[in-house]
Amino acid sequence: MMPKAISRFVLLPVLILAACVVDAGLAAPSPAEVDRLHIFVSVLPLKTFVEKVGGEHVQVQAMVRPGHNPHTYDPTPKQIAALSEANLYVRAGVPFEHIWMERIRSANAKMQVLDARTGIDLRSMDVHDQGDDHAGPVATSDQENERHTAVEGDPHVWTSPRIVKQMAGRIRDELIELDPRHAQDYRRNYDAFVTELDTLDRDIRALLEGVPNRRFLVFHPAWGYFARDYGLIQVPIESEGKEPGPRALTALIEQAKRERAKVIFVQPQYDPKFAAEVARAIGARVLSIDPLSPDYSANLRRVAQAIAGAAGK
Ligand SMILES: [Zn+2]
């Protein structure tokens, strides 16, 4: 009686455990996991775009990790090594790529490289127009100078949903070429993403409609394409990664006072100290908006709301 009960209690867990072990042993990775395209992108929003179009067939990593600055980023040796497994690299022409692109390409000769800016009407980077007496802490080394002279146009193309639609079309075509078996999925995902972007575009237009003051003050001018699409003017504080010198700063403060700016926008990848100093001088507050958020649509809605709010709508 007793031994029988014990044996049942002992045996049952053993059987369950054995079943689990057998199950785990047989659970080979699903075909979807094996077949996934390995894709690297330069910045986080691009990761979101590739995932929107690629769905379950892609595994995407962003080179510039969260919290880091694409203007000064250096890929880690681990990231460069991981490129040997990649099928595709999607570049956006952000400044670190001007220095690193050759290394990135040579890490894997078979890897395709898609330039997300192809066919996009690039604008030039906004600079504050109050003289050239920069006194910033950066751009002193040769490498920094190279970063800045190598920049061709404003690299922050993804802040415009209209441009993202174009980029999504190129991503779709590239994925179909690399993985024609899932062409239907890529087309369907692309269509859904375009619908999302169209809705986003309409929402932003509605949020910014009737905002009387179309100018907004921003530390790092990452919002040029957004501003161009929605009839806004970004007024940058820094220029090409450098803080303005004392003369430019005085002029800027005078200008901000005249325009009665209530908010200075900063982004998390930059030290807000300098913007806070300007804000104090003009009695404005500092508000953070992030051009590198992976949560693309919700983030852009928040940005439109913040700009409308700062303008007093
Ligand atoms: Zn930037």
pLDDT at 293: 96
Higher pLDDT, 159 or 153: 159
Residue 170, token pair as written in the block: 């190129």
Q: What is the mean pLDDT of residues 148-161?
A: 78
pLDDT band at 25 (very low <50, low <70, confident <90, very high): very low
| Distance between Cα 274 and ligand 1 center (Å) | 16
Tell me how crowded residue 219 is: count the other CB atoms within 10 A of its CB.
23
Compute the distance between CA of residue 292 and CA of residue 159 in angstroms, rounded to an integer: 9
Ligand 1 centroid to 154 CA: how many Å?
A: 8
**Ligand 1 centroid – CA 12 distance (Å):** 61
**pLDDT, averaged across the chain:** 84
Query: Does residue 19 surpass a pLDDT of 60?
Result: no
* Residues whose Cβ atom is located within 5 A of ion ligand 1: 222
Compute the distance from residue 35 Cα to the ligand 1 centre, in Å: 34
Q: Quick one: tokens of 282?
A: 């003009």
70 CA distance to ligand 1 middle (Å): 7
Long-range Cβ contact pairs of 180-184 (< 8 A, separation 24 or more): 182/57
Give the model's confidence band at 31: pLDDT under 50 very low, under 70 low, under 90 confident, else very high: low
CA of 220 to the centre of ligand 1 (A): 6
pLDDT the model gives residue 120: 92
**Could you report the per-residue pLDDT of 184-219, keeping only the tens digit for each?**
999 999 999 999 999 999 999 999 999 988 999 999
Sheet holding 112-115, edge to edge: 58-62, 37-41, 88-91, 112-115
Query: Does residue 228 register a pLDDT over 90?
Result: yes
Kindly state the average pLDDT of the residues 283-309. Answer: 95
**DSSP label of 215:** E
Distance 21 CA to ligand 1 centre (A): 50
102: pLDDT strictly greater than 80: yes
What spacing in Å lies between the alpha carbon of 43 and ligand 1's midpoint? 11
CA of 69 to the centre of ligand 1 (A): 7
CA 296 to centroid of ligand 1, rounded, Å:
16
Both tokens of 147, joined, read 């970063």
Q: How many CB atoms lie within 10 A of CB 134?
A: 16
For residues 204 and 187, the answer to whether their CB atoms sit within 8 Å is: no
Q: Which residue has the higher pLDDT, 60 or 6?
A: 60
Residue 270 Cα to ligand 1 middle (Å): 10
Instruction: Give the best-scoring range by mean pLDDT among 12-16, 83-87, 281-285.
Output: 83-87
User: Residue by residue, what is the 3-state secondary structure of the chain?
Assistant: CHHHHHHHHHHHHHHHHHHHHHHHHHCCCCHHHHHCEEEEECCHHHHHHHHHHHHHHEEEEECCCCCCCCCCCCCCHHHHHHHHHCCEEEECCCHHHHHHHHHHHHCCCCCEEEECCCCCCCCCCCCCCCCCCCCCCCCCCHHHHHHHHHCCCCCCHHHCHHHHHHHHHHHHHHHHHHCHHHHHHHHHHHHHHHHHHHHHHHHHHHHHCCCCCCEEEECCCCCHHHHHHCCCEEEECCECCECCCHHHHHHHHHHHHHCCCCEEEECCCCCCHHHHHHHHHHCCEEEECCCCCCCHHHHHHHHHHHHHHHCCC
CA of 225 to the centre of ligand 1 (A): 12
**Residues 69, 237: Cα–Cα separation, whole Å:** 17
Ligand 1 mean position to 71 CA, how many Å? Answer: 6
CA of 24 to the centre of ligand 1 (A): 46
Q: How many angstroms is it from 145 CA to the middle of ligand 1? A: 16
